[in-house]
Amino acid sequence: MARNLLQAGHEVTVFNRDREKAKPLAASGARVADSPADAGRDAEVVMTMVANDGALEEVALGKHGFASELKPGGIHVSHSTISTALARKLTAEHGQRKQGYLSVPVFGRPEAAESKNLVVVAAGPIEHLERCRPLFDAIGKATFVMGADPVQANIAKLCGNFMIIGMIESIGEAYATIRKAGIDPELFLETVNSLFMSPFMGSYGKLIAREEFLPARFVLELGLKDVRLLLDAADELASPMPLASLVHDNLLSALAQGQGELDWSSMTQVLARNAGLKTKSS
């Protein structure tokens, strides 16, 4: 994402808690900051992409957080998949400092980020969205605005991730039955994907059929975190999501069985074992 911003002609300062990961961007023209506060100093916009609520709160509002240095009128654009509670807190905290805040999570794996093919989901005040649109255009292939409340983008991202893991659940259940019937899962995948024409079904279907869960495209532990955040939001909205509850329990079972660092599609091995099938990790 940072490299694509540089290629689009933006001046970019980068900070990573592991400085070695930021150094390669210096060769592309970025300045490497010593702290989040250093990165936010004199910035027009600060874009964050971190793993969870705790990490984002630390880099934004912590002792060396960038919010203390971001000038009035500056905008924090959060690309992370975070809780609605933290999105509201960041909206309030930046507002008190006369700064802007936007929730702008993205859909797409690392290769999509590299090729500028992320799908950008944004929400917040329209004037901030329009000001930042050139940045969204630099990192993604399409931007969809969910509304004027930043929380709306967070809920849209959580629901989108849920639909992906829900598809993985259905593939896992179908494959368990297909394998017990003596049918080749990849042949079955080719058959059903001629109906759905889904790149997600195609790519995840092959991984699951071949039990290729390393290297992880999205680690299971983070997937479980996202489903928990979704269920929290659904509780707040009094919106029952029974499939999400089922997926949560299957992800938790996979975590308990030592699959936390595998791809989240490895959850399907729990379904296979429940059907009495052998798996590579059995």
pLDDT tens-digit map of 212-247: 999 999 999 999 999 999 999 999 999 999 999 999
**Given 148, 170, 204, which residue is the final one in a domain?**
148
Instruction: Please indicate, yes or no, whether residues 56 and 80 belong to a single structural domain of this protein.
Output: yes
Q: Which residues contact 209 (CB under 8 A, 6 or more apart)?
A: 175, 185, 186, 189
Instruction: Please indicate, yes or no, whether residues 91 and 36 belong to a single structural domain of this protein.
Output: yes
Instruction: Please indicate, yes or no, whether residues 138 and 253 belong to a single structural domain of this protein.
Output: no
Average pLDDT over residues 68-77: 97
Give per-residue pLDDT as tens, 147-197: 999 999 999 999 999 999 999 999 999 999 999 999 999 999 999 999 999
Q: How far is CA 57 from the centre of its chain?
A: 17
Instruction: Please indicate, yes or no, whether residues 168 and 62 belong to a single structural domain of this protein.
Output: no
Residue 212's identity, in one-letter code, is E
**Given 94, 113, 148, which residue is the final one in a domain?**
148
List active site positions: 157
Instruction: Please indicate, yes or no, whether residues 120 and 169 belong to a single structural domain of this protein.
Output: no
* Alpha helix stretches (DSSP H) within the chain: 2-7, 19-26, 36-40, 53-61, 84-96, 110-114, 126-139, 150-180, 185-196, 199-210, 220-236, 242-256, 268-274
Comparing C-alpha atoms, which of 264, 261, 281, 263 is closest to residue 272?
Answer: 281
**Given 111, 133, 148, which residue is the final one in a domain?**
148
Give per-residue pLDDT as tens, 15-56: 999 999 999 999 999 999 999 999 999 999 999 999 999 999
Do the Cβ atoms of 154 and 132 come closer than 8 Å? no
Instruction: Please indicate, yes or no, whether residues 75 and 213 belong to a single structural domain of this protein.
Output: no
The parent domain of residue 237 ranges over 155-274
